[in-house]
Each structure stands twice: as C-alpha cells, then as structure tokens.
Amino acid sequence: MGSDAVRTAGGSRRRMTTAGPADGTTAVLVELADATFAYGAGAPALEHVTISVAPGDALALIGPNGAGKSTLLAGLLGLVPVVSGRAAVLGGSARAATGRVGYMPQTDEIDPDFPVTLRQVVMMGRYHRLGAFRLPGRRDREAVAAAIERVGLTPHAGGRFGALSGGQQQRGILARALVAAPRLLLLDEPFNGLDRTSRERLVGTLRELRADGVGIVVSTHDLELARDVCSHVLLVDRCQIAAGPIDATLTPENLRRTFEHASADGEAHGHHHLAHGHDHDTGFRGVDEPPHVHVAIEGHHP
C-alpha cells in the first residue's frame, strides 16, 4: 500500500494541495507528510498520510470503522504521536498547538444530570485562555454569548444543559469548541444521530466558519454531507487510500478501495464494520458508530 498511499485521486499528483492564497501569505493549518501514527509500541494505527489543510478548507475524513479516523484527529490534537513522517499543526508540533485547536468529540462525558447550564458548558471552552485562578471576565462572557448565538441556542443559554435535546446538546458542544475562536476545528462524526434541523444548522455553521477562514477536518460516514460541506477528502483504511479535492477524489473506485476490506472481512480491525451494503453514490448514512472512541481526549477539555 505504501506507494499507493500518497497518490491523489487521478494518481498524477504526488500529494494533495489545497487552495491557498496566491501570495502564499496565509499559513497552512495542517501539514502531514507521510505521517504515521501509533499508540505506544504497537502496530501503527494509521500510516502514510499526506495532506494539507489551508484556511477555509474543509477536509472530510472517510473510512470504515477502525480505519484510523479518530486516530488522525487525536494525532492532530497531539494525543497520539507521529512515529514517522512529519506533522505540523498551526505551524508547529501538534502538542504545541494543544488548546488552540477546536475539537468536537463524538460523544461527550457531560452527565445530563449534572446541574450545569449551557452557558457554563460553553465557558469550559475558554478555560485554557483563562489560566489558573482567573475568573471569566466580560470578554469571556461576550465570547460565550457569541458562540451560543452562532449555533442558534441563545434562548437556552441559561437553561440546564441536560434538558436540551440531543441535537441541541451537540450544538452546545460545538459552541464550546468555537468559543476560543480556533483557526482549526476538528469534528468527530458530528452528524451522527442528528435530526434534520440540527444537521442543517450544523452544515450552515460549518459553511460560515469556512467563509471566515477557519480550517475544518471532519470525520463522517455521510458522503452527501461531505460533498455538501467539504472542499477536500481523505480516504483511509489504516493507511491513506486517496486524498485530494472532493469532486475528483470521492469516486466509486476510490470508495471501493477504501471499503473493500471492511465489507470482505467484517471484524478485521477489531470493530464492527459496515453493517449494511453500501451505495457508492448515496453514501453510508445510518451506519452505526461504536462508542469506543477517545484515547485521553477527555483531558483535552476541562
């Protein structure tokens, strides 16, 4: 797979490049060059990834269960090390960028019975800015109100987080990721389990963020949403299968190569795989996600 791993859809270009400004002044947000990620001393979880994400780009991360999507996001958060190749996030190491990258996890640890308001949940996203012992000030409160407004939850700001619907809670968690005004936003399966209204709102918010120059990396099984929201795609199955502009790369042939092991060997990666036959044109919407995720990610947000 090695030599295939860095080919783009047409096979003609060595690596994925993203639309950047002609004068080259805007820094690329993510730059991975043949990067391989591994947990501890075990076999690599994801190998040979070569991508870049520029401001305003949205990269869809697509692959079967266990393919390494969450690993890539954890790698960009500095939680899983790069064992070979090169990885730069916001111009430095992923670890150095910790706290400056917005992250929306697949599930969240907040106990619905814990008596916190939406406003308090979103304020958690400011904590790394506040530093030890500093109380939130006017600017923090304004940022929280703006983030809540951005996801359309202003009427619920003072209400109990646990009383919100699932889709509203997810938008609240997105507001928490946005409140520190990150230049790079990572989202792990954000469309799973959302009702139509929440999906449409999330799509709208992601489009606005792109227009504002935020770079986005989003894992999803939903090819339609990926096409709707994203400029680029990275297809993985424990290594990079293809990467590039979404229209040229999200082809039936590349999808077949990405999912061929998933449909052939079911449990090959130790997770359950695509439960249904899949339709290359309409996507994998509705495929269940196992709630196994998250390395040490809880530690990322206080």
Per CB under 6 A, 192 contacts ligand ATP: no
Q: Interface with ligand ATP includes 39 (CB under 6 A)?
A: yes
Residues 64-93, interacting with ligand ATP (CB under 6 A): 65-71
258 lies in the binding site for ligand ATP (CB under 6 A):
no
Nearer Cβ to ligand ATP (155/277): 277
Nearest to 188 by CA among 265, 268, 89, 76: 76
Binding flag, residue 283, ligand ATP (CB under 6 A):
no
**Residue 49 near residue 72 (C-beta atoms within 8 A):** yes
Contact between 257 and ligand ATP per CB under 6 A: no
Can residue 274 be called a binding residue for ligand ATP (CB under 6 A)? no
Looking at beta carbons only, is 2 or 270 nearer to ligand ATP?
A: 270
Q: Does 271 bind ligand ATP (CB under 6 A)?
A: yes
CB of 257 to ligand ATP, least distance (A): 16
Q: Which stretch binds ligand ATP (CB under 6 A): 96-104, 165-173, 199-207, 269-277?
A: 269-277
By CB under 6 A, tell whether 58 contacts ligand ATP.
no
Query: How near is the Cβ of 295 to ligand ATP at its closest, in Å?
Result: 4
- Provide the binding-site residues for ligand ATP, judged by CB under 6 A: 39, 45, 63, 65-71, 269-271, 289-290, 293, 295
